[in-house]
């Protein structure tokens, strides 16, 4: 879509809505110098461990024994680091992953909707990833497990800053599609619907990729897929440490996305059902990675994060996660779709054993990490164009440098956050205040309802959004009418940023009305 059309859409949207000390110097010595080699070797390793659809209440450091099942290794990260109580991802898989790896809102990079086989949407070369930012600093970069940021060759992690990728390109149950009884048997027809299997790829020095397709990931293969992902991550980390280079590894398990096809080792192991069994496997994988860092002697110089891509998918219970928050994955602007577990250990930067109630989101981690690597002005520099490696990028990062917040020396710099479900704008948060313009009852076959006046919530009074049906709520909300005009101003301010930094591409739509609108916009006279 051309920029003038985007301006028109944004104008219509706005009208409708109205009715860490820096340990590393930024200048790097010559690549052949001993000083450069020593500086590179001393940079902190970065290990990002993500589950999939993990419920915040399925982790024992959060539920504190209120539920059955325990996660001692994930708890260890929190106990030796920081536990976050007000941390957002996005409402679904692709969006949550795009937010973290690009530092931009998913709508801005065109990845607001769940990626499906063969779709044109995927990571763009114009949007730098955290891996691409770390490569010039000497990092070895690997991504292992689920990706879900596009399935064409140009979308693979090894086309976007990662040296190596091993994993799958979709949600876990996509691997079962071809095993359904009514999947087309004619190979020519089946090709239109088939997805890629397990993929192993490497980035070549000339910008090309070596790609191996390792076959489908059906129900039986899913039982041991995470075991293989763990082996690849451990091998990459070990090899990189031996080479005396810092590593950035994004380890993405397939647990706990439904459907959970457990290995024999974990079936019935927890005594609390299939989800708790799967959480035991996930927690054991985390323990294996932490043990490896200890054995390699690099734990004290490694940032370790545990989190997930979106809120709990409670609708698939008992093969689904649990959350105390209203809503779930894919459901409107309710907290249950956005609040995720977050535990981070970073010796020397994050104080151990602390609980953080500051408001943060996945978009904040790129500016925060890069600030600690000597680039505190990254967001501002990218607005006007910044050279990273051999490319120049001009993008609007939507995250904030939260160094003070994670160190416990200051407040969060984030006030605003827009709630999107797929590409539908549902509302906004500003500080403790939340405003929902659209409600949704459930994800699959859900109904969205536009509201005459936005639902107003103070999240420090009602974090679980339980009181909207209370008999005193209407009067309470009416007495807070003074908040609505400032909220509208913030919404207009947000959408105005798309004039100079428009969406990279249109997110895929499953709504026929939205599809028709896209077609009409693309064919209208200039």
Tens of pLDDT, residues 274-333: 999 999 999 999 999 999 999 999 999 999 999 999 999 998 999 999 999 999 998 879
Higher-confidence residue: 177 or 322? 322
Mean pLDDT value across residues 353-377: 98
Give the pLDDT band of residue 122 (cuts 50, 70, 90). Answer: very high
| C-alpha separations of 461 from 328, 416, 439 in Å | 20, 18, 20
Dist. CA 246–CA 339, nearest whole Å: 31
Task: Specify the pLDDT at position 18.
Answer: 39
Where does the pLDDT of residue 181 fall: very low under 50, low under 70, confident under 90, or very high at 90 and above? Answer: confident
Q: How many C-beta atoms surround the C-beta of residue 234 within 10 A?
A: 19
Q: What is the largest CA-CA distance in the chain?
A: 71
Chain centre distance of CA 426:
19
pLDDT band at 19 (very low <50, low <70, confident <90, very high): very low
Among candidate residues 434, 432, 364, the one with its CA nearest the CA of residue 398: 364
Sorting pLDDT into bands at 50, 70 and 90, what band is 511?
Answer: low
User: Any idea how long the chain is?
Assistant: 526
- 229: which residues sit within 8 A by CB, 6+ positions away? 144, 145, 166, 167, 251, 252, 253, 254
**pLDDT band at 15; cut points 50, 70, 90:** very low
Name the token pair of 308: 């997930």
Mean pLDDT rounded to a whole number for the chain: 89
Q: Is the pLDDT of residue 501 over 70?
A: yes
Q: Which residue has the higher pLDDT, 191 or 455?
A: 455
The fraction of the chain above a pLDDT of 90, given in percent, is 75
What is the structure's pLDDT at 42?
A: 87
In CATH, what class is 3-27+60-416? alpha beta
Residue 338: the pLDDT is 97
Please give the Cα distance from 44 to 138 (Å, whole number): 11
Question: Computed over its alpha carbons, how large is the radius of gyration of the chain?
Answer: 22
pLDDT at site 423: 86
pLDDT at 228: 98
pTM greater than the 0.85 cutoff: yes
CB 51 within 8 A of CB 335: no
3-state DSSP assignment of residue 385: coil
Quickly count: other Cβ atoms within 10 Å of residue 522's Cβ.
11
Asked if residue 4 has pLDDT above 70, the reply is no
């Amino acid at each position: 879509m051309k920029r003038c059309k985007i301006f028109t859409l944004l104008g219509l949207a706005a009208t409708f809505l109205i009715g860490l000390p820096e340990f590393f110097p930024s200048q790097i010595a010559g690549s052949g110098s001993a000083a450069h080699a020593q500086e590179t070797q001393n940079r902190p390793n970065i290990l990002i461990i993500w589950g999939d659809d993990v419920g915040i209440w399925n982790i024992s450091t959060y539920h504190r024994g209120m539920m059955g099942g325990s996660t001692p290794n994930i708890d260890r990260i929190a106990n030796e680091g920081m536990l976050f109580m007000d941390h957002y991802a996005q409402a679904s898989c692709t969006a949550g992953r795009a937010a973290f790896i690009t530092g931009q809102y998913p709508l801005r990079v065109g990845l607001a909707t769940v990626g499906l086989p063969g779709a044109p949407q995927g990571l763009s070369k114009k949007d730098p990833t955290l891996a691409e930012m770390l490569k010039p600093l000497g990092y070895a970069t690997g991504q292992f497990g689920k990706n879900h940021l596009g399935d064409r060759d140009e979308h693979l992690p090894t086309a976007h800053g990662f040296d190596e990728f091993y994993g799958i390109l979709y949600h876990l149950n996509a691997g079962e599609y071809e095993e359904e009884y009514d999947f087309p048997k004619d190979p020519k027809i089946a090709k239109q619907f088939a997805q890629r299997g397990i993929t192993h790829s490497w980035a070549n020095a000339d910008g090309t990729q070596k790609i191996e397709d390792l076959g489908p990931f059906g129900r039986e293969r899913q039982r041991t897929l995470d075991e293989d992902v763990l082996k690849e991550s451990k091998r990459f980390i070990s090899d990189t440490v031996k080479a005396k280079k810092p590593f950035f590894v994004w380890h993405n398990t397939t647990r706990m996305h439904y459907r959970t096809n457990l290995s024999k080792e974990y079936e019935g192991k927890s005594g609390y059902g299939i989800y708790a069994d799967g959480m035991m496997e996930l927690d054991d994988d985390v323990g294996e990675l932490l043990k490896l860092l200890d054995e390699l002697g690099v734990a004290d110089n490694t940032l370790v994060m545990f989190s997930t891509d979106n809120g709990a998918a409670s609708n698939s219970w008992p093969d689904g996660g649990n959350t105390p928050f209203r809503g779930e994955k894919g459901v409107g602007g309710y907290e249950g779709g956005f609040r995720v577990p977050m535990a981070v250990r970073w010796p020397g930067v994050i104080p151990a054993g602390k609980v953080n109630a500051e408001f943060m989101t996945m978009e904040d981690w790129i500016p925060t990490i890069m600030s600690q690597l000597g680039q505190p002005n990254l967001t501002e520099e990218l607005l006007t164009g910044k050279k990273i490696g051999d490319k120049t990028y001009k993008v609007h990062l939507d995250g904030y440098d939260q160094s003070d917040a994670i160190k416990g020396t200051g407040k969060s710099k984030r006030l605003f956050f827009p709630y999107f479900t797929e590409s539908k704008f549902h509302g906004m948060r500003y500080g403790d205040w939340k405003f929902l313009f659209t409600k949704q009852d459930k994800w699959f076959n859900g109904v969205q309802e536009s509201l005459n006046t936005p639902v107003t919530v103070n999240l420090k009074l009602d974090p679980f959004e339980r009181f909207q049906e209370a008999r005193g709520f209407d009067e309470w909300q009416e007495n807070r009418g003074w908040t609505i005009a400032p909220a509208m101003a913030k919404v207009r301010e947000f959408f105005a940023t798309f004039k100079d930094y428009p969406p990279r591409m249109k997110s895929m739509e499953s709504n026929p009305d939205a599809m028709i609108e896209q077609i009409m916009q693309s064919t209208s006279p200039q």
